[in-house]
Amino acid sequence: MSGGTGGAAVVVRAIRPQEHKLLGELTAAAYLHGGLLTFGENDWYADELRNVEERAAKAEVLVAEGQDGAVVGGLTYVPTHEHPYAEVARPGEAEFRMLAVAPKARGQGAGEALVRAVLDRARETGSTGIALSTPPVATSAHRLYERLGFTRAPERDWAPIPEVTLMVYVFRFAEAAD
C-alpha cells in the first residue's frame, strides 16, 4: 500500500514487532503534542497508546513510512463492530483508532495515506462504512476526514469518561467517492 500528497512518497504497511515500542512512543508523543491527552503526560490513555504490542496481537496495526523508510505514523484498524477494540462502529462498519503522525512529519501525507489504506481495506472486506471517534480539539484531523468524505454523526458522540467527550465521524461507501 502506498499513498501521499505533494510528491512525497509514503508507504503504508503492517507493523513489525520490533516497531511496537517506537510506534507506541510516537503515538503518545503525537497525542500529547496535539493536546489530545486530557490530563497531559499523566493521562491514563497514554499507557494504552503506548501498548502497541497488545493492540497488534488483537487488531491490525498499520504504519506509515516516510521517504527515508522511518516510521512516521500509525493507526489501529478494527474490522467489525464486534471486535474488542470497536468503540463506535455499528453493524457492517469498520473503525480505526489511535491515528497518529509524528509532529515533524505532519503535512507530508502520512495521515492521509493511513486513512486511505483503511478505507481500501474496509471496502475490500465488504464493510458498509467506517466510523471513528475524535476529540473536538483535533481540528486538523477533522479537516482530513472531511476532505476524504467522512461526515459528522453528532448523534453518535460519546464520553468514555465524564471529562472527555468524543465526536464521531462516519464514511459511507455508497454515498462517497474517492
pLDDT of residue 6: 45
Cα separation, 30 vs 37, in Å, equals: 10
CB 96 within 8 A of CB 145: no
Q: Which three cell numbers stand for residue 19?
A: 516497531
pLDDT of residue 106: 87
Q: Which domains does the chain have, with CATH numbers?
A: 2-172 (3.40.630.30)
pLDDT of residue 37: 65
List of long-range contacts for 52-57, beta carbons under 8 Å, 24+ apart = 52/15, 52/19, 52/20, 52/21, 52/23, 52/24, 52/27, 53/17, 53/20, 53/24, 55/85, 55/98, 56/15, 56/17, 56/20
* pLDDT tens over the chain, length 178 residues: 544 444 458 999 999 999 999 999 999 888 887 767 655 555 668 888 999 999 999 999 999 999 889 999 999 999 999 999 999 999 999 999 999 999 888 889 999 999 999 999 999 999 999 999 999 988 999 999 999 999 999 999 999 888 789 999 999 997 544 4
Q: Which three cell numbers stand for residue 120?
A: 481500501
pLDDT of residue 178: 45
pLDDT of residue 164: 83
CB 171 within 8 A of CB 150: yes
Q: How many CB atoms lie within 10 A of CB 165?
A: 13
pLDDT of residue 162: 85
